[in-house]
Amino acid sequence: MSSSRIAPGSVAIVGAAETTRLGVIPDMSQIQLHADAALNALADAGLKPTDIDGIATAGETPVTLAHYLGITPSWVDGTSVGGCSFMIHVRHATAAITAGLCRTVLVTHGESGRSGIGRNRAAPGPSSLFGQFEAPFGPMGPPTLFTIPVLRYLKTYGVTEEELAMVAVVQREWAGKNPRATFKDPITVDDVLGSRMVAYPFRLLMCCLVTDGGGALILTAADRARDFPTKPVYILGTGESVETPMVSQMADFTSSRAFRVSGANAFASAGIAHGDVDHLMIYDAFAHLPIFGLEDLGFLAPGEAAAFIAGRNTAPGGKLPLNTNGGGLSYMHSGMYGMYALQESVRQMRGIAPAQVPGAAISVCHGVGGMFAASGTVIMSNERP
Amino acid sequence: MAEPRRARPEPTPETRHYWEGTRLGELRLQRCDDCAETYFPPRPFCPKCGSRRVAVVKASGRGRLYSYVIHHRPVPGFTPPYAIAVVELEEGPRLMTNITGCAQTPEALVLDMPVEVAFEKLDDEITLPLFQPVRE
């Protein structure tokens, strides 16, 4: 573990917004989804594109984004390691602002995941490690790869498919409170287990949505943050890591190395304890992700998380509110969902979330990239330490 | 019209010995001469200690079913439902594969059951290491 020399609260999020619409947006290309979110975030912060001197993005290159928005930045970050790239951008931006490399950073996400308009996504070729050692055995995207470790996890800890299904049930309860959620109607464990089998043990309702959308954040030094129109959300600590491009090569099928490194560094740099956390987001591309996240972030011991969720501890009214926007399972999921988890943490810290956690002052936002390939964690607060 | 086929791997200089092995009916791993780590996938150095002093070794071809999913949607070269599995070899490394010679059901695919390699020829250059249950 590395100890950060960035003081908690040195940098703040002063602008945050999603695209005006989420869901099915066939009239907008992917780069325009980035721009729509960026313009909304700039308006939120009372800024113009020319006020931005640092940009970070994934999915599109920062070159494309800078040109499209008319920005000539003095700092760029194109880290693109999947859906947690934006958590890592926040971490890198925090370091860059603190070091004086730039003053005001724009982080954008936009993805035409559903409509596929203007999408430029290259699959790994047949000579890549994935192409040689996984692709020949018939995987078809994340539902058949991200899910591979789960039977081993269930057997190791005696977890049931019903408990796995409860993750989706509880998150739908949160989604029911969110007018922007794609799916809001309550579901039961029987509904989840009876939904179409995709890749046993995963049924359709254990898998994330596929939608169009985007989001953007603006960060600057905390000393400037009070000059902006919105309530500043301070970055307390961050973490990042990567493990493997092949899920079959994860060191431990019951735990993510990247999660453990990223989470531990985020907590250490924030200088907080798990009991201080009021609100939690864990990127849920599939129903097992919150289980792995709760354990690998250190909230629970290995094997405890499924029963913790099934026992309604993360549900509305529970002691650890988790994925309060409804998550990738019910809110939206464009492909690189991490940005939407960050947006919900910011809303909770501003006190404006549709399912607001009363008095929440510290939020942990944890992302995954690829199929347990990468991880990024951001801990934020509405109070400057 | 040709039958749709599964994705075909394309060897690189660092992996050619592995694919040459499967073509000859051998499952090849690599072992570090310095720290004794046995590893997969192929690369000309040890991922544990960084040593370039590594040797190609022949694996027993035996292992156990470590984890899997049963995919229910069509993919070129496969008839659903079919299992995408990970086998843990006796020597330690794990690899992705398919399980042949048994029903593709949770009842037939029991975690930790012993399996052995069953080579499947794709063409003159590429043979894939699939696995089958060990018969008593």
What would the pLDDT profile of A317-357 be if each residue is shown by its tens digit? 999 999 999 999 999 999 999 999 999 999 999 999 999 99
Nearest neighbour of B70 by CB, restricted to A129, A131, A199: A199
% of chain A with per-residue pLDDT over 70: 99
Residues of A with CB below 8 A from B95's CB? 133, 248
Q: Name, in order, each residue with C-beta under 8 angstroms of A293's C-beta and a sequence gap of 6 or more.
A: A259, A282, A283, A305, A366, A368
Amino acid at A149: P
- Calculate mean pLDDT across residues B97-118: 98
Q: Is the pLDDT of residue B40 over 50?
A: yes
Residues of A with CB below 8 A from B13's CB? none
Residues of A with CB below 8 A from B7's CB? 126, 131, 135-136, 138
The predicted pLDDT at position B135 comes to: 82
Any A CB within 8 A of B22 CB:
no
Question: Is A42 within 8 Å of A115 (Cβ atoms)?
Answer: no
Chain A nearest C-alpha distance from B135 (Å): 23
- Calculate mean pLDDT across residues A100-107: 98
Comparing CA positions, the residue from A344, A365, A46 lying closest to residue A215 is: A344
Chain B nearest C-alpha distance from A62 (Å): 31
* Pairwise CA distance, residues A182 & A26, whole Å: 16
Confidence of residue B3 (pLDDT cuts 50, 70, 90): low
> What is the set of domains in chain A, with CATH numbers?
11-119+208-381 (3.40.47.10)
The predicted pLDDT at position B1 comes to: 46
Q: Tell me the sheet residues that pair with A18.
A: A215
Confidence of residue A361 (pLDDT cuts 50, 70, 90): very high
Nearest neighbour of A136 by CB, restricted to B8, B73, B81: B8
Q: Tell me the sheet residues that pair with A15.
A: A218
Nearest neighbour of A152 by CB, restricted to B40, B66, B72: B66
Q: Is the pLDDT of residue A299 over 60?
A: yes
**Are A201 and B86 inside 8 Å of each other by CB?**
no
- Calculate mean pLDDT across residues A56-67: 96
Residues of A with CB below 8 A from B111's CB? 151-152, 155
Any A CB within 8 A of B84 CB:
yes
The predicted pLDDT at position B97 comes to: 98
The predicted pLDDT at position B2 comes to: 57
**Are A148 and B86 inside 8 Å of each other by CB?**
yes
Q: Tell me the sheet residues that pair with A77.
A: A56
Within 91-130 of B, beta carbons closer than 8 Å to A belong to 94-98, 106, 111-112, 122, 128
Residues of A with CB below 8 A from B77's CB? 138
DSSP symbol at A23: B
- Calculate mean pLDDT across residues A107-130: 92
In three-state form (DSSP H/G/I as H, E/B as E, the rest C), the secondary structure along B30-99 is EEECCCCCEECCCCCCCCCCCCCCEEEEECCCEEEEEEEEEECCCECCECCCEEEEEEEECCCCEEEECE
Confidence of residue B136 (pLDDT cuts 50, 70, 90): low
Comparing alpha-carbon positions, the chain A residue that sits nearest to B10 is A127
Q: In the predicted model, what is the mean pLDDT of chain A?
A: 97
**Are A148 and B72 inside 8 Å of each other by CB?**
no
